Amino acid sequence: MLGIRCLLACALVAGADLDKDRNLLGFCETADQDCHSHDDTVWDNKRQTNAARARLDVNSANHTHQLGSFRVSCKKLLEAFPVDEVDGNFVRTVKNCIFSKSTPTPLKGSLTLATVSKNVIEDILDLDVNAIQSDDFLQYASGSKLLPGSIPLAHRYGGHQFGYWAGQLGDGRAHFLGQYTNSKGEIWELQLKGSGKTPYSRSGDGRAVIRSSVREFLGSEAMHSLGIPTSRAASLIVSEEPVLRDQFYNGKVKKERGAVVLRLAKSWFRIGSLEILAQAGEIDLLRKMLDFVIAEHFPSVNMNDPDKYLVFFSMVVNETAHMIAQWMSVGFAHGVCNTDNFSLLSITIDYGPFGFMESYDPNFIPNTSDDEGRYRIGAQANVGLFNLEKLLGALGPVLTVKQLQGAKTVLKGFADLYQKRFHQIFKAKLGLRGDEEEDEYLIAYLLKMMEDTRSDFTMTFRQLSEASVQQLDSRDFTQMWALNDLSSHNLFSEWLSMYLLRHGRQDDDCDEDRQHRMKSVNPRYVVRNWMAESAIRKAEVNDFSEVELLYHVLTSPYITQETAEEAGYAARPPLWAQRLKVSCSS
C-alpha cells in the first residue's frame, strides 16, 4: 500500500527533482525575408465568403451588437503604464515601459474565416453571429483593419525558458487590440496572435501557421468547456501568405500558410511580465504593474494592506496549484511551461505543443522539442513550483524581509495545496463522496494499473462512469475498450472489489447518481492529437468542416454525441496516431 502511495506522490504530485542542466530552448524558426517583410503589402481585398458562416446556427435575438457599434478601449492600460518611447516594428531592447505601440501587419492574399467560437462571439463579445459574416470582421480579426478605439500594443515581458533566464521576450507575434467591457460588466483583453512583427520578434517572422493556430483555437475552447481556467479564442482566420517552417527542426523547411487567432483573456500579464521589470531594476514600474494587477484582478486584496503583495503572491500560489491539478485531471500537458507562458491570473495561456495524454504515462512529453522531458506531464506541479519561485524572485524588491519569509512559507505549502486539490478532483472522478482513509490508495492503485496496462486516461475514467454497478460487478468489458485494457491487470479485480465496496458504503447514493456525477467530470472527448491533425490536414486545403465539427463536439465534452461517435472521437485512437509528433514550431 505504501509503495503505491509513494508512486502517486513521485509520479504525479511532487514530480522528480528539477533538472537544472537543460539547454535554453526558445523558439527557433527559420526566418525568410520573403515571408516576413510585408510592411508595404497591398493585401488582396477579394475576401472569401466561406461555407462555415452559412453553417452557423444563427440566433440573433439575444445579442446586442452588430459589428458597427463594437468598440474597444486601450485607455485604462495606456493611462496606467508608460509606453515605449521608440516607434516602429523593428527589433530592439526595450526599457522602462510595459508596452510598445505596434501595428499589425496585414496578411497577404485572400483571407478566409475558418471558424469562430459561437460561445465567445455571443457570450463574451455580445455580438450577433450574423456580424461575423461581414468583411469588416474578417479584417478586424486578422489585423488588416483596426477596431474602433484600438491602439494596438505589444507587451514587453521576459521569462525563464527551460529553466534559464532568457532575457527580453515579449509579444513577438501578438498584438493587444484593446479591452472590451461586455454586457455582463466583464473586461476582456482582445489580442491577435500571428499578426506580424513587433519590437519583440527577435529572429521570428511574427507569424503563426495554420496547424498551430487550429490547435490554439481548439485547445483553448476545449479547455474552457472542460471547466479549466484558460484564455479563449474567438476566431481563426487563414491566409494565403507563405510562412516557412522547419516543423521538426530537421532541416526540412516547408512552405505553410499564415493564420491569425483572435484570442481573449481577462489579462495577458504573465510571471515574465514582472520578471523583466525586476531583472531590469525598474522597481517603480514593477510596483505599478503589481498594483494594477491586484486592483483589477484580485478584488479581495485590500490595496491599503501593507502586506498586499504577499497576499497577492499567496493567491497566485493557490490558484496555480489548482490550475495544474485541473490540468492533471484531464491529462493535459501544456508542453512549454516557461515563466513567460504562466499567467498571473493562473489561467492556461499560450497553447503550443500541448497534448492530452492518451495511454496513461507520467512521463508523457507532448512536445518533441523537449528532449529531456522537462515539461513531461508528471513534472508539471514541480515546474509550477519552479515558476512560482521565479515569481517570488521578481517580487523580492518590493517585499520586506519579513514578507519575503512569509512568501517562502507560502511556497512551502504549494505541494500540499496541489495534493489536496488533486485528491479532491480525482475523488470526484471516481464518484467518491465523503472522506475515507483508503481513498488516496484507491486513486493511486488505479493510476498504477493504468500505467502498467497503458490504459487510455480519458476513456478509462469515462467508462468507469458509464458502466453500471452490475456491469462492473460482472467484469464484462467487451464493449468498453479502455476498461477492457485496464482489466488485463492482475490486480484489477481486487481494486474493483474495493471500489465497489467503497461505493456500497455511500448510503445516500444510488448507481444512477454516481454515474451522473462521474459523467459530469469525466469527459468523453478531448483534443487528441490525431483528431486535431486530421482537422488540420483538411484545414490546410481550405476544408474547415472538421475544425468546426471538433469545436462543436469539444464544447460539450461530457455529453455523448452522435456525430462524435461516428467520427470515432471516443474510440481507440487509430494506429497512425502513434506516429504523430508535435514540436515547438508554430
Burial grade of 328 (CB within 10 A; 0-12, 13-18, 19 or more)? buried
* Residue 204 interface partner, choices ligand AMP, Mg ion, none, CB cut-off 5-8 Å depending on type: ligand AMP
- Integer Cα distance of 382 and 488 in angstroms: 32
Counting contacts by CB under 6 A, is residue 485 touching ligand AMP?
Answer: no
Counting contacts by CB under 6 A, is residue 170 touching ligand AMP?
Answer: yes
Binding residues among 303-362 for ligand AMP as defined by CB under 6 A:
336, 341, 350, 352
Closest residue by Cα to residue 255 from 242, 266, 273: 242
Q: How far is CA 284 from the centre of its chain?
A: 31
Cβ-based neighbour number of residue 295 at 10 Å: 13
Asked if 282 and 274 count as a contact pair (C-beta separation under 8 A), the reply is: no
- Integer Cα distance of 157 and 198 in angstroms: 13
Counting contacts by CB under 6 A, is residue 216 touching ligand AMP?
Answer: no
- Nearest distance, CB of residue 29 and ligand AMP, angstroms: 5
* Residue 352 interface partner, choices Mg ion, ligand AMP, none, CB cut-off 5-8 Å depending on type: ligand AMP
Binding residues among 344-373 for Mg ion as defined by CB under 5 A:
350
Closest residue by Cα to residue 335 from 363, 296, 374, 297: 374
Counting contacts by CB under 6 A, is residue 169 touching ligand AMP?
Answer: yes
Cβ closest to ligand AMP, residue 169 vs residue 398: 169
Return the range that interacts with Mg ion (CB under 5 A); candidates 77-85, 242-250, 341-349, 492-500: 341-349
Cβ closest to ligand AMP, residue 239 vs residue 463: 239
Q: Which is catalytic among the residues 84, 340, 350, 485?
A: 340
- Using CB under 6 A, pick the residue from 50, 89, 191, 201 that binds ligand AMP: 201
φ and ψ at residue 508, rounded to 5 degrees: -85, 20
3-state secondary structure 320-368: HHHHHHHHHHCCEECCCCCHHHEECCCCECCCCCCEECCECCCCCCCCC
- Nearest distance, CB of residue 352 and Mg ion, angstroms: 7
Return the range that interacts with ligand AMP (CB under 6 A); candidates 95-103, 198-206, 364-372, 382-390: 198-206
Q: Is residue 340 flagged as an active site residue?
A: yes
Cβ closest to Mg ion, residue 351 vs residue 426: 351
Counting contacts by CB under 6 A, is residue 384 touching ligand AMP?
Answer: no
- Nearest distance, CB of residue 174 and ligand AMP, angstroms: 6
- Using CB under 6 A, pick the residue from 207, 215, 489, 517 that binds ligand AMP: 207
Counting contacts by CB under 6 A, is residue 387 touching ligand AMP?
Answer: no
- Integer Cα distance of 556 and 225 in angstroms: 7
Return the range that interacts with ligand AMP (CB under 6 A); candidates 45-53, 143-151, 205-213, 354-362: 205-213
- Using CB under 5 A, pick the residue from 161, 341, 346, 465 that binds Mg ion: 341
- Nearest distance, CB of residue 51 and ligand AMP, angstroms: 29
Please name the residue ranges forming H helices in 398-528: 401-412, 414-429, 439-453, 457-466, 469-474, 481-486, 492-504, 511-519
Strand ranges for 211-274 from DSSP E: 232-245, 254-265
- Nearest distance, CB of residue 341 and Mg ion, angstroms: 4
Beta strands 112-116 and 153-155: pairing type?
Answer: unpaired
Interface residues toward ligand AMP, by CB under 6 A: 27, 29, 169-173, 200-201, 204-207, 336, 341, 350, 352
Active site residues: 340
